[in-house]
A = this chain, B = another copy of it.
Amino acid sequence: MKQSANEIIHLHHGSGGEHMTKLLNEVIIKTLHNDILDVKHDGAFLNLQGKLAFSTDSYVISPIFFKGGNIGELAVNGTVNDLSMCGAKPKYLSLSFIIEEGFSLAEFTTIVESIRKAADKAEVQIVTGDTKVVERGKGDKIYINTSGIGVVYDKAEISSLQIKPGNAVLINSAIASHGMAIMSEREGLQFESDIVSDTTNLNFTVQQLIERFGNKVHFLRDATRGGLASVLNEIATDCHLGISIFDEKINVETQVKNACELLGLDPLYVANEGAFVCIVDQSVADEALALLQTKNPLASNIGTITEEHPNKVILHSAFGGKRVVNPLIGEQLPRIC
């Protein structure tokens, strides 16, 4: 599709008629094409065997372009990561757009190109899709749903039922950078160095963890909406055990920490896109941490599972103090993902 800078998406691009076919063929399928997608049926045909994982997420982030990424790669990475957290190898994604009338065709094309790049990087295929257009004022530029199918690794046994007292709680990176990148963008804040979203695909890291440590990896969860605090609280509730974490073990990059202080936000509650919690047997904690640190030096062993204070997360300070980390109440940063 030859594009002029002023071209926009119209309602007729979602009509099921010729304009939609043109948008599909000349932007979406042209960019994303692969053997399965090219069949253009109402659905995709897949050959898969074994235990599968199936996940879905709608992405409504604002702004849609931010430092470190855009809504397109976020939509791929997010679902790739949800499947990874199930102990599965992500294989196939569906892709569904809800576009607001008037959205720039050039920006749409950029997003579709980012989707292709992110899918290639994670080695997944977009195999089926849908495009809807809503009137101005009934959306916000673009919303994207991705759903995904993965094949659970034979060795994986990821379940909150596997979590036991004494297990180590690891995290693969520093926290709070995605949320603060979005927040800085929205508020127009300038820092000495840019705060960049940590959006990335975690599937290869998870694959290595499971190949190497098998069922000694008990639980995985990415710390997205609601941040590390919310995710740890969910885990504690699900397994009816307590979690003790240590303040000085939780890494937050300096400019992220400064931005949080400036805005009065607790980094524990700020969303991440590439940070995940990994609960492992204490016997492999050091080795698993070493593996995570080969990917990111800020990976850390932040605490343990305990029979004390069931369903509660307790944060220990460097000075011996401790406090309950409550689940997020209310809304810290709407439309963060």
A interface residues with partner B (beta carbon < 8 Å) = 10-12, 14-21, 39-58, 60, 81-83, 85-86, 88, 92, 94-98, 127-130, 132-135, 137-140, 143, 145, 147-150, 152, 158-160, 221-222, 224-227, 230, 234, 238, 271, 327-332, 334-335
CA A199 – CA B129 in complex, angstroms?
Answer: 21
- 8 Å CB contact of A44 from B53, B135, B225: B53
Chain A to chain B contacts (Cβ below 8 Å), 19 pairs: A11-B331, A12-B331, A14-B334, A15-B332, A16-B230, A41-B85, A41-B159, A42-B82, A42-B222, A45-B51, A45-B86, A45-B152, A46-B52, A56-B130, A58-B97, A58-B132, A96-B145, A135-B335, A138-B140
CA A148 – CA B42 in complex, angstroms?
Answer: 11
- 8 Å CB contact of A145 from B50, B52, B56: B56
A16 touches B225 (CB 8 A): yes
- 8 Å CB contact of A43 from B21, B48, B55, B329: B55
Answer whether A128 and B55 are a contact pair too, CB < 8 Å, given A41-B85, A98-B98, A138-B139.
yes
Q: Which of A88, A130, A222 has the most CB of B within 10 A?
A: A130
CA A140 – CA B101 in complex, angstroms?
Answer: 13
Answer whether A56 and B92 are a contact pair too, CB < 8 Å, given A11-B334, A40-B238, A86-B43.
no
B98 touches A56 (CB 8 A): no
Chain B residue contacts of A20, Cβ below 8 A: 225-226
Chain B residue contacts of A81, Cβ below 8 A: 42
Chain B residue contacts of A95, Cβ below 8 A: 56
